[in-house]
A and B are shown apart, each in its own frame.
Chain A
Amino acid sequence: MTQLPLRAQLAAALGRTAAALSRATGRGDGSVIGGRIGLVFEPDLLRQLAADRKLVLVSATNGKTTTTRLITSALAELGGVATNAFGANMPAGHVSALAEDAEAPYAVLEVDEKYLPEVLNTTGASVVCLLNLSRDQMDRAAEIWLLAQKWRNAFAEVRTHVIANADDPLVTWAASTASSVTWVAAGQRWRDDSWCCPVCGGPLDRRDDDADWACRECTFRRPEPTWVLMEDHDLVVDPRGARWALELRLPGRANQANGAIALATAEAFGLPPARVLGRLRDVRSVAGRYTSVERDNREIRLLLAKNPAGWLEAFGVLDPPPVPVILAVNAQGPDGRDTSWLWDVDYRVLRGRPVRVTGERRLDLALRLDIAGVPFELARDVDDAAATLPVGGKVDVIANYTAFQQIRAEFGRAV
Chain B
Amino acid sequence: MQSDKLRLIWIYPDLLSTYGDQGNVLVLEQRARRRNIPVETVYVRSADPIPEQGDVYLLGGGEDRPQILAAARLRRDGGLGRAVERGASVFAVCAGYQLIGTVFGGEEGQPVEGVGLIDIGSRRGERRAVGEIVAEVDPELGVPTLTGFENHMGVTDLGPSVRPLSRTVVGTGNGDGTEGCYSGRVLGTYLHGPALARNPGLADLLLSWAMGVETLPPIDDTWHERLRDERLGTVLGRQ
A344–B19 touching, CB < 8 Å:
yes
B192 contact from A201, A340, A366, Cβ within 8 A = A340
B227–A341 touching, CB < 8 Å:
no
Does any Cβ of B come within 8 Å of A139's Cβ?
A: yes
A145 contact from B21, B27, B63, B151, Cβ within 8 A = B63
A143–B63 touching, CB < 8 Å:
yes
Given contacts A203-B14, A203-B47, contact A138 B19 (CB under 8 A): yes
Does any Cβ of B come within 8 Å of A192's Cβ?
A: yes
State A145–B22 Cα separation when bound (angstroms).
20
Closest CB-CB distance, A297 to chain B, in whole Å?
32
Does any Cβ of A come within 8 Å of B42's Cβ?
A: no
Chain B residues, Cβ within 8 Å of A372 = 26
A338 contact from B13, B45, B149, B226, Cβ within 8 A = B149
State the interface size on chain A (CB cutoff 8 A).
31
Chain A residues, Cβ within 8 Å of B127 = none
Closest CB-CB distance, B154 to chain A, in whole Å?
14
Chain A residues, Cβ within 8 Å of B64 = 143
Does any Cβ of B come within 8 Å of A337's Cβ?
A: yes
Chain A residues, Cβ within 8 Å of B69 = 196, 201
In the complex formed, the residue of B with least CB distance to A364 is B227
Name the interface residues of A336-382: CB closer than 8 Å to any CB of B: 337-344, 363-364, 366-368, 370-372
A366–B226 touching, CB < 8 Å:
yes
Closest CB-CB distance, B216 to chain A, in whole Å?
17
A139–B63 touching, CB < 8 Å:
no
Binary A-proximity of B178-196 (CB < 8 A = 1, otherwise 0): 0000000000000011100
Does any Cβ of B come within 8 Å of A195's Cβ?
A: yes
A139–B226 touching, CB < 8 Å:
no
Closest CB-CB distance, B45 to chain A, in whole Å?
7
State A344–B22 Cα separation when bound (angstroms).
7
B65–A145 touching, CB < 8 Å:
yes
Chain A residues, Cβ within 8 Å of B41 = none
Given contacts A145-B65, A340-B192, A340-B193, contact A363 B227 (CB under 8 A): yes
Name the interface residues of B1-52: CB closer than 8 Å to any CB of A: 13-15, 17-23, 26-27, 30, 45-47
Chain A-chain B contacts (Cβ-Cβ < 8 Å), number: 91
Does any Cβ of B come within 8 Å of A216's Cβ?
A: yes
Closest CB-CB distance, A26 to chain B, in whole Å?
30
State A202–B14 Cα separation when bound (angstroms).
10
Does any Cβ of A come within 8 Å of B66's Cβ?
A: yes
State A83–B122 Cα separation when bound (angstroms).
47
Does any Cβ of A come within 8 Å of B130's Cβ?
A: yes
B130 contact from A139, A339, A370, Cβ within 8 A = A139
A192–B17 touching, CB < 8 Å:
yes
Name the interface residues of B121-152: CB closer than 8 Å to any CB of A: 130-132, 149, 151
A371–B227 touching, CB < 8 Å:
no
Does any Cβ of B come within 8 Å of A150's Cβ?
A: no
State A195–B22 Cα separation when bound (angstroms).
15
A138–B151 touching, CB < 8 Å:
yes
Does any Cβ of B come within 8 Å of A279's Cβ?
A: no
B27–A371 touching, CB < 8 Å:
yes
State A370–B21 Cα separation when bound (angstroms).
17
Binary A-proximity of B52-77 (CB < 8 A = 1, otherwise 0): 00000000000111100100000000
Does any Cβ of A come within 8 Å of B197's Cβ?
A: yes
B197 contact from A138, A203, A367, Cβ within 8 A = A367
B65–A139 touching, CB < 8 Å:
no
Chain A residues, Cβ within 8 Å of B27 = 371
In the complex formed, the residue of B with least CB distance to A142 is B63
Does any Cβ of B come within 8 Å of A274's Cβ?
A: no
State A201–B226 Cα separation when bound (angstroms).
41
State A216–B27 Cα separation when bound (angstroms).
33
State A337–B130 Cα separation when bound (angstroms).
9
Does any Cβ of A come within 8 Å of B224's Cβ?
A: yes
Chain A residues, Cβ within 8 Å of B194 = 340, 342-343
A363–B22 touching, CB < 8 Å:
no
B193–A343 touching, CB < 8 Å:
yes
Closest CB-CB distance, B74 to chain A, in whole Å?
13
Does any Cβ of A come within 8 Å of B85's Cβ?
A: no
State A364–B151 Cα separation when bound (angstroms).
18
A343–B226 touching, CB < 8 Å:
no
Query: Besides A195-B13, A338-B149, A340-B194, 13 other CB < 8 A contacts?
Result: A146-B63, A201-B15, A201-B46, A202-B47, A337-B132, A339-B149, A341-B20, A342-B20, A343-B22, A343-B23, A367-B224, A368-B23, A371-B23
Q: What are 19 A-B contacts with C-beta separation under 8 Å?
A: A138-B151, A139-B131, A139-B151, A144-B63, A195-B14, A196-B14, A201-B46, A203-B47, A338-B19, A338-B193, A339-B149, A343-B21, A343-B23, A343-B193, A344-B19, A344-B20, A366-B227, A370-B223, A371-B23
Q: Which 6 A-B pairs have the closest CB atoms?
A: A340-B193, A343-B23, A343-B20, A340-B20, A195-B14, A203-B47
